[in-house]
Amino acid sequence: MLFGLFYFDWTLLIVIPGMLFTFWAQYKVKSTYSRYTQELLPAYMTGAAVARRILDANGLSSVPIEPVQGHLSDHYDPRSKVLRLSESVYHGNNVAAVGVAAHEAGHALQDEKGYVPLKFRMAIVPVCNIGSNLAMPLFIIGLFMAGLSAVADWLMFAGIAAFSLSVFFQLVTLPVEFNASRRALRCLEGSGTMTGEQLKGSRKVLSAAAMTYVAALAVGLLSLLRLVLIAASASSRRNSR
């Protein structure tokens, strides 16, 4: 009994809008990033150099900047206090690379200022990881047992609750990412690093990237609704027997 999970049923229609949104967001960020890698800056204005300037100007000279492998694998590690930039961003002297580097520097500024949503996100990572790993096994076991025992309802509920933790993490991530972009753009504008048009380009790159987080949350919420509907259907079938 795996109704609604491994083959088509009407509840799958619920997730389709979120999937389409995700495809659009991924296309948007790739095309926008590609476009603004063509907008070159002076050779000395690489992503690493601009990030270094932002960090130093805010009293974070102790935060190292390291190159890492991968495309757009850029991130700030609040535990080790290290800013890591992908090779193309680290060495890139274009509007897109500088915008991404400044965004990651924005996360370092959040950490230094004790930005509450960032601290909260860090605190819930272990619990959310456990929930993400347990969600589908619990739900699927409950769905297998749906026609056999009332325990199935509790297992499906536990799976849904665990899945909710990952959705909640995506929700908490939104203000963290948007705030980092605002900090980045303020730093770029305040330091005179970019002209008006160049700053506008970086804003478009960061806005496109932010949409991927919104899309992930949308898919998560719609998937959560689908699990609830599947569980309710399985439970009602059992009770009607």
Tens-place pLDDT, residues 99-118? 999 999 999 999 999 999 99
154 found inside a domain: yes
Provide the total of helices (H) and of strands (E) in the chain, helices listed first: 7, 3
Helix intervals (H) in 94-150: 95-113, 116-144
For residue 236, the SS3 value is helix
Q: What is the pLDDT of residue 32?
A: 97
Q: Is the pLDDT of residue 36 over 80?
A: yes
Rounded distance, CA 76 to CA 94, Å?
A: 20
Structural domains in the chain (count): 1
Question: Would you report the helix, strand and coil content of the chain in percent, each value rounded to 5?
Answer: 70, 5, 20
pLDDT, one tens digit per residue, over 181-239 is 999 999 999 888 888 899 999 999 999 999 999 999 999 999 999 999 998 888 766 56
204 found inside a domain: yes
Tokens of 29: 């960020």
5 found inside a domain: no
2 found inside a domain: no
Tokens of 192: 């005179």
Angle between helices 151-190 and 47-57 (to 10 degrees): 90
1 found inside a domain: no
The predicted model gives 11-36 an average pLDDT of 94
Range of the domain at 113: 12-239
Rounded distance, CA 230 to CA 219, Å?
A: 16
> For residue 121, what pLDDT band results from cuts at 50, 70 and 90?
very high
More confident residue, 144 or 122: 122
CA-wise closest residue to 58 among 186, 200, 199, 181: 186
- Out of 104, 112, 177, 197, pick the active-site residue: 104
Rounded distance, CA 211 to CA 223, Å?
A: 18
202 found inside a domain: yes
Rounded distance, CA 228 to CA 168, Å?
A: 16
Tokens of 55: 């960090």
20 found inside a domain: yes
Annotation says 112 is catalytic: no
Read off the amino acid at residue 79.
R
3 found inside a domain: no
Angle between helices 95-113 and 196-239 (to 10 degrees): 70
pTM value is 0.90
> For residue 24, what pLDDT band results from cuts at 50, 70 and 90?
very high
The predicted model gives 119-138 an average pLDDT of 95
How much of the chain exceeds pLDDT 90, in percent?
Answer: 80
Torsion of Cα atoms, 201 then 206 then 209 then 211, to 10°: -100
How many CB atoms sit inside 10 A of residue 170's CB?
A: 18
